[in-house]
């Protein structure tokens, strides 16, 4: 009878890397020593961060240790098995070896196109599909702005089925299908304003559950990029709250800006870089003061968000690694 019990799990991170965890529990009445875990994976499909061996040291009776690996997929991964071997010594210094049952890993980022659908069909279909939810918090962006950014980032990928505003909270439903495979992907988004920040929650559905993580990651990444581009432009004084903003792919380009004053021009966001921008010399001091103050506020907000995210990630990692 083996002295140890092995549990394994994984999660797909926002950058589409895979965090793979192996929990080793000593179920014997005595301590075991020199415990290590050797990961067995396909090097043609993944790039491993660090060594394939994790040394866990000694484990007392009823004790647990976790070996964690970060794998970067070289492409879309569908039901690829990852295994491992656990080695240890018993109190008599006899070496033992136990092979872990492989776990299927999927990390798919679907390429989507719009799929028209009626709201009633959406509701009925969502009830029968696998789903996953995820939430984020944004500061410095209002709920109406975030709603427009969301629709822009989903354009040509997801079809907007319906949109409602209930007491300032926006609820929107989208539908798309993956190119080639024709898998169905549904998305419900709830955007809720608060005094200091705006919350957004995604609830994704699909008949191909292995693609849900990649679908959510891609949607969230596109939205974050768009919000970041606008916030960066505001930090350097390019965008004023009173100016008109046209969002086209996310970059400020070929634009001359008159900071402040009447008749300040509209800004067209096109690609995520501010190119050939001209600023009035008499506004330089005012612009520097604005930059310093907004940079300070942003640092404080980012520190608060990092703290919240760290706590959330810790809880999610603990839940994912123990299955």
Q: What distance, in Å, lies between the first and last C-alpha atoms of the chain?
A: 22
Cα 209 from Cα 271, distance rounded (Å): 32
Q: What is the pLDDT of residue 235?
A: 63
Q: What is the pLDDT of residue 44?
A: 92
Report pLDDT digits (tens) over 195-206.
Answer: 888 999 999 999
Please, what are the domains in the chain?
4-107 (2.60.40.10), 111-235 (3.30.310.10), 236-286 (no CATH)
Report pLDDT digits (tens) over 74-115.
Answer: 878 878 999 999 999 998 999 999 999 999 888 877 888 899
Contacts of range 59-63, beta carbons closer than 8 Å, 24 or more positions apart: 59/4, 59/24, 59/25, 59/26, 59/31, 59/32, 59/33, 59/35, 59/88, 60/26, 60/31, 61/26, 61/28, 61/29, 61/30, 61/31, 62/25, 62/26, 62/27, 63/25, 63/26, 63/31
Under-50 pLDDT residues of the chain: 238-284
Q: What is the pLDDT of residue 262?
A: 42
Q: What is the pLDDT of residue 307?
A: 72
Q: What is the pLDDT of residue 285?
A: 53
Q: What is the pLDDT of residue 309?
A: 73
The pair of structure tokens assigned to 65 is: 């240790």
């Amino acid at each position: 009878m083996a002295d140890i019990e092995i549990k394994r799990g994984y999660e797909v991170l926002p950058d589409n890397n895979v965090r793979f965890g192996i929990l080793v529990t000593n179920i014997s009445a005595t301590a075991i020593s020199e415990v290590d875990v050797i990961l067995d994976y396909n090097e043609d499909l993944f790039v491993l961060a660090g060594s394939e061996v994790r040394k866990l040291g000694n484990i007392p009776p009823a004790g647990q240790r976790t070996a964690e690996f970060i794998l970067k997929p070289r492409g879309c991964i569908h039901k690829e098995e990852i295994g491992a071997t656990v080695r240890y010594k018993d109190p008599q210094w006899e070496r033992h070896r136990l092979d872990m049952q492989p776990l299927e890993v999927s990390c798919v980022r679907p390429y989507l196109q719009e799929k028209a659908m009626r709201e009633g069909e959406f509701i009925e279909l969502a009830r029968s599909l696998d789903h996953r939810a995820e939430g984020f918090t944004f500061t410095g962006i209002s709920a109406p702005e975030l709603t427009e950014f969301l629709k822009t980032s989903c354009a040509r990928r997801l079809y907007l089925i319906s949109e409602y505003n209930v007491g300032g909270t926006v609820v929107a439903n989208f539908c798309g299908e993956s190119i080639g495979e024709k898998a169905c992907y549904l998305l419900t988004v709830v955007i809720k304003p608060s005094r200091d920040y705006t919350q957004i929650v995604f609830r994704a559905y699909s008949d191909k559950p292995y693609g849900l993580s990649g679908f959510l990651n891609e949607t969230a990444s596109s939205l974050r990029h768009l919000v970041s581009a606008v916030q960066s432009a505001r930090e350097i004084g390019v965008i004023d709250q009173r100016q008109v903003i046209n969002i086209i792919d996310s970059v400020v380009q070929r634009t001359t800006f008159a900071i402040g004053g009447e008749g300040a021009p509209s800004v067209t966001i096109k690609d995520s870089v501010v190119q050939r921008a001209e600023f009035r010399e008499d506004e330089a001091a005012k612009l520097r003061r604005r930059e310093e103050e907004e940079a300070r506020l942003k640092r404080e907000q980012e520190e608060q968000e990092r703290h919240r995210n760290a706590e959330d990630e810790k809880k999610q990692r603990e839940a994912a690694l123990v299955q």
